[in-house]
Structure 1
Amino acid sequence: MPIEIKMPALSPTMEEGTLAKWLVKVGDTVSSGDIMAEIETDKATMEFEAVDEGVITSITVAEGSEGVKVGTVIATIAGEDEDASAAPAAKAAAPAPKAESVAETKPSAAPPASAPVKPAMASGDRIVASPLAKRIAEQKGVDLKSVKGSGPNGRIVKADVEGAQPGSASVAPVASAPAASAPVPDFGIPYEAEKLNNVRKTIARRLTEAKQTIPHIYLTVDVRLDALLKLRGELNKALEPDGVKLSVNDLLIKALGKALLRVPKCNVSFAGDELRKYSRADVSVAVAAPSGLITPIILDAASKGVAQISTEMKALADKAREGKLMPHEYQGGTASLSNLGMFGIKQFEAVINPPQAMIMAVGAGEKRPYIVEDALAVATVMSATGSFDHRAIDGADGAQLMQAFKDLVEAPLGLVA
């Protein structure tokens, strides 16, 4: 019997994904562990490995296909008792319709003249049109049922609806539609429309949810960095033969991890009718990747040495930028750290990453007038702002965490003890 290869659930929350790229073709022999495809989830682009071995007899979902439900058969492999060479009509899936450019400039040229095309009606009277064409049709009031598509298999594309006249389509008033789906006017300004990837869609959804449902409270402290910078220089000199170079961020990860254990009332999350109190501090660290923001996790940050944190963080950041993080490397965490100091940002307030209940936002260290031992001096000072979920963490407890973080940074020997 042939073996069905199904769309995998590459994370606990994954319901569908994009089959970004096939790395095998019909007729190829695969073994367990071979990379068969790249699949874009709501968090990252991940490699899909073969579990069984055999010859690929068909590929039923073309690369580039979006919204492929978990469990959908995407390919088949000849079973042990099956002759792959005799498999009937083993064919690859037809190429997916070419996606419209993600950088289409408005206004665009009129649609070119073409030969008669098939109407864009599929089985069940379903209109086959690209998402961009549907959006433009909605804005212009064009009835897609009256439009003939010039794309593959009669698919309606952007050029088809831009040249169409408004018809009798019943378009609901914008005011009655949900705000998220309401068309956005362009006011005649030239622009480029870039399609959102799955990661960016998830960021938009989760951050909107966080700001709408979580009562944020913000607490800011100024932290003197001179002692930490001195210790970092000494540690880097000692670790140079080992090829380890600590960043300030590595030390701040350690400081936040230890602060969470010193103030356990902040190492929590709000879960409806219960408060979850964590006995381990797992620090999620914001990393800017090409596909969008992602937060790989340093597990048990309070207990690890700063050299180990540095090594792990470099490896995780590289994987994040390449879209190769595994689910267990970015899902979870008990609190987050976001550092924009390298961009010269002085101070900012970060959005909580649910279901966590706090995130620490740190800015740049800069020379400022500062009271040192009752005398005015110039010191290197960094502003740190904690965002706290007020359902789970009281202001006084949040203030204790900020004080513990400040103490650890200003007396940094506690980070290496």
Structure 2
Amino acid sequence: MPEVAANATDAVLAEWLVAESAEVTVGDALATVETDKALVDVEADADGVVLKVLVAAGTRVEVGSPIAVLGAAGEEYDPSLVEAPTTAPPATNGATRVFASPLARKLAKDGGLAIEDLVGTGPRGRILRRDVDKALASPVVEEGAGTPSPVVEEGAGTPPSVVEEGALAPVSKPPSAEGAVPHTRRRRAIASRLTESKQTAPHFYARATVRADALVALRAEINAGEVKVSLNDLVVKAVAAAHRAVPEMNVVWMPDAVRTFDTVDVAVAVATDRGLVTPVLRDVTALPVSTVAERVRDLAGRARDGRLRQDELEGGTISVTNLGMYGVEEFAAIINPPHAAILAVGAVRDEPVVEDGAVVPGRLMTVTLSVDHRPVDGVVAARWLAVLKDLLEHPVRILA
């Protein structure tokens, strides 16, 4: 089991892509492994034959433990030469293996359900996401009871216990109004990274208010045709252009040096049911805005389905996070390590503005830049933000 995510101690072997006795070559995908943020394919590092699969799909395995044995054609598997993998037992029901998709297993675990208790509606009874969703939405019925127990909404606490007629109710404190939602692996990972960021990266903040009239008009003009873009797509393009104009911002802090980059890779924050992820869009300055929009939609869709590759979550020097669609006018975000900065984008709002000495209606948007002060000085961030503001207020330059 490889360490597909930094500092990971274990991972779930989600699916085998080859069978025993199959011939493989270097680079062939052998299995899919589930990390906190993505599904990652494990590739063969040598030509050979799959002599033995040691771990069943759906099993959590410690990093470094063997998951399969590869050998030469004609070679036989010798169990005495292989250390037993360190695993949690695969989900089973008696002696029968339970077939379930990796996503269904994760959702069941996060929802506190035993996968072997679910009824699958997929091929060969395979448990799918819809089966988990149905189980989570169903009221809980105690074994042998004629009526269902009350359904407890998330955060509503635990219902009082059922007391048999004539029995004395135990003296106890009233049920708490607060519930407890167990941490998922992804939520723990997010918490760990953001805590690390605030503890190790000295944040400072710079804010600008942008006249967004031209930006909104440009988007409407583009969307009048076949190409559809969002305001955030245009912001991502502007961020990349600002990095090109102020290359001192296109850096990350390393233990022994400040690393610089020739291309501009921008991460885009995507909210999913299982937490926030930040897939990275590569070489944004070389892409037309239509391609940026298409790739952002693809990354966001696969992020919500849990199908991002690990390499799509790595790299970049800055993230863009946008809460404007929720009506949030202004906020400051925590830097996503090892990035040097993150740009928080607020909603476009109608406000009176002064123009040539007269008060006129205008459309304003607030952007807040959070910066790691280790690799980036305040004057560099100020120059960058001035360039970004100018690009957003003259957005035709973004398309150049």
Return the TM-score normalized by structure 1: 0.67
Match of 1:338 among 283, 301, 321: 321
Match of 1:65 in 2: 59
Match of 1:360 in 2: 343
After TM superposition, the structure 1 = structure 2 runs for residues 245-394 of structure 1, keeping only pairs within 5 Å, are 245-394=228-377
Partner amino acid for 2:214? A
Match of 2:224 in 1: 237
Question: For the residues of structure 1 that align with 2:359 and 2:254, how far apart are their CA atoms?
Answer: 46
Match of 1:114 in 2: none
Question: For the residues of structure 1 that align with 2:31 and 2:365, how far apart are their CA atoms?
Answer: 45
**1:272–1:78 Cα change, 3 Å:** closer
User: What does the per-residue CA deviation read over 1:297-316, in whole Å, with 9 as the maximum and x for residues that have no partner?
Assistant: 22222232111211221222
Per-residue deviation at 1:196?
A: 1.7
Question: For the residues of structure 2 that align with 1:94 and 1:271, how far apart are their CA atoms?
Answer: 36
Partner amino acid for 1:288? A
Match of 1:196 among 180, 184, 190: 184
Tell whether the 8 Å contact from 1:57 to 1:87 is kept in structure 2 after alignment: no
Question: For the residues of structure 2 that align with 1:350 and 1:94, how far apart are their CA atoms?
Answer: 37
Partner amino acid for 2:380? D
**1:103–1:290 Cα change, 3 Å:** closer
The alignment status of 1:209 with 2:196, answered yes or no, reads yes
Query: What SS is found at the alignment partner of 2:362?
Result: strand
Match of 1:18 in 2: 11
**1:104–1:283 Cα change, 3 Å:** closer
Match of 2:214 among 220, 227, 238: 227
Per-residue deviation at 1:345?
A: 1.1
Partner amino acid for 2:291? Q
Question: For the residues of structure 1 that align with 2:236 and 2:318, how far apart are their CA atoms?
Answer: 10
Query: What SS is found at the alignment partner of 1:401?
Result: helix
**1:97–1:312 Cα change, 3 Å:** closer
Tell whether the 8 Å contact from 1:224 to 1:380 is kept in structure 2 after alignment: yes
Question: For the residues of structure 2 that align with 1:255 and 1:383, how far apart are their CA atoms?
Answer: 15
Partner amino acid for 1:410? E
Identify the range of structure 1 (314-323 vs 188-197) with the bigger mean alpha-carbon deviation: 188-197
After TM superposition, the structure 1 = structure 2 runs for residues 37-48 of structure 1, keeping only pairs within 5 Å, are 37-48=31-42
What is the percent sequence identity of the aligned residues? 37
User: What does the per-residue CA deviation read over 1:131-163, in whole Å, with 9 as the maximum and x for residues that have no partner?
Assistant: xxxxxxxxxxxxxxxxxxxxxxxxxxxxxxxxx
Match of 1:96 among 90, 97, 111: 90
Question: For the residues of structure 2 that align with 1:254 and 1:366, how far apart are their CA atoms?
Answer: 21
Query: What SS is found at the alignment partner of 2:284?
Result: coil
Per-residue deviation at 1:223?
A: 0.8
Question: For the residues of structure 2 that align with 1:302 and 1:250, how far apart are their CA atoms?
Answer: 12
Question: For the residues of structure 1 that align with 2:49 and 2:282, how far apart are their CA atoms?
Answer: 40
Match of 2:119 in 1: none
**1:300–1:103 Cα change, 3 Å:** closer
**1:386–1:35 Cα change, 3 Å:** same
Match of 2:152 in 1: none
Per-residue deviation at 1:318?
A: 2.0
- Number of residue pairs the alignment of both structures matches: 321
Query: What SS is found at the alignment partner of 2:334?
Result: coil
Per-residue deviation at 1:87?
A: 10
**1:95–1:57 Cα change, 3 Å:** farther
Tell whether the 8 Å contact from 2:278 to 2:313 is kept in structure 1 after alignment: yes
Partner amino acid for 2:348? G
5+ residue gaps, structure 1: 1-6, 106-186
Tell whether the 8 Å contact from 1:25 to 1:59 is kept in structure 2 after alignment: no
Partner amino acid for 1:258? A
Partner amino acid for 2:182? E
Question: For the residues of structure 2 that align with 1:378 and 1:390, how far apart are their CA atoms?
Answer: 37
Question: For the residues of structure 2 that align with 1:78 and 1:266, how far apart are their CA atoms?
Answer: 49
**1:352–1:24 Cα change, 3 Å:** closer
Question: For the residues of structure 2 that align with 1:87 and 1:25, how far apart are their CA atoms?
Answer: 20
The alignment status of 1:80 with 2:63, answered yes or no, reads no
